[in-house]
């Protein structure tokens, strides 16, 4: 109703989160924009109020660049807070942290034949130095945020800027991707299919795979650390050399 719309308001704040000197401390937030607006449009049965913000290209998330450098040159993340009030009383709130990054895999032809495979982030070629990431514990539920903090700390100590999530493992928890976002680690994520003869001709299995892919892509889309999705681990190799296609 119009009366309800008059009493229902929302506020959205958008700010940039900057890394502090110690790699564990990533909390300072500069709120540069704030909007308040009616949360309900009384002219619609199911109206939704909305507010739009524009971020400049300078707010692109970067990456951990110069090997051996302790500088935090990978840019800021965007922190968003939303609050919903009715008659001046807060009834709900939510927050999210995300980032934007332009990624291109340069596969231009080489003069001597073949193609290049160069990852470019925000228009800059990147030398990727890292490792394969397998499940950190045989009992997946024991891999908590503390465990991921330890793994990311080891990656930083080794001057890594890249981790590949192996297709024989699992889609990692949000903690892993959040930590990679915050510390400039780039992630190659494989769909969890590896070294197997999967029944893709089976319609039910195929539909299940589509549901899995759709869910995981949407879940992880906000993480600027995730730069590449890869279809599997060695399934094609199995078809070519292990007779999986027979």
Query: In this structure, what token pair is assigned to residue 216?
Result: 């995981």
The closest alpha carbon to 183, from 80, 94, 70, belongs to 70
Active site residue 234: yes
Let me know: does 11 contact 34? Beta carbons within 8 Å.
yes
Q: Which of 108, 234, 236, 246 is catalytic?
A: 234
DSSP code string of 75-144: -PEEEEEEEEEETTEEEEEEEEEE----EEEE-PBPTTSSB--EEEETTEE----EEEE--S-SSGGG--
Interior angle at CA 233, CA 227 and CA 235, nearest 5: 135
Residues designated catalytic: 234
């Amino acid at each position: 109703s119009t009366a309800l719309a008059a009493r229902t308001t929302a506020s959205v704040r958008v700010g940039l989160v900057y890394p502090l000197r110690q790699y564990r401390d990533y909390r300072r937030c500069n709120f540069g924009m704030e909007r308040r607006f009616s949360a309900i449009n009384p002219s619609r049965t199911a109206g939704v109020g909305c507010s739009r913000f524009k971020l400049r290209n300078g707010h692109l998330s970067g990456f951990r660049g110069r090997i051996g450098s302790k500088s935090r040159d990978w840019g800021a993340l965007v922190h968003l807070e939303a609050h919903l009030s009715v008659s001046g009383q807060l009834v709900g709130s939510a927050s999210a942290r995300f980032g934007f990054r332009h990624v291109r895999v340069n596969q231009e032809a080489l003069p001597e034949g073949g193609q290049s495979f160069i990852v470019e982030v925000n228009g800059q070629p990147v030398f990727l130095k890292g490792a394969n990431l397998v499940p950190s514990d045989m009992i997946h539920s024991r891999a908590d945020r503390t465990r991921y903090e330890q793994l990311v700390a080891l990656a930083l100590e080794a001057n890594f800027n890249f981790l590949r999530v192996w297709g024989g493992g699992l889609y990692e928890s949000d903690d892993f991707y959040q930590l990679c976002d915050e510390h400039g680690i780039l992630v190659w994520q494989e769909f969890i299919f590896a070294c197997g003869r999967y029944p893709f001709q089976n319609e039910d299995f195929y539909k299940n795979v589509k549901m899995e892919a759709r869910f995981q892509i949407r879940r992880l889309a906000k993480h600027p650390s995730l730069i590449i999705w890869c279809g599997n681990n060695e399934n094609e190799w199995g078809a070519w050399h292990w007779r999986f296609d027979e």
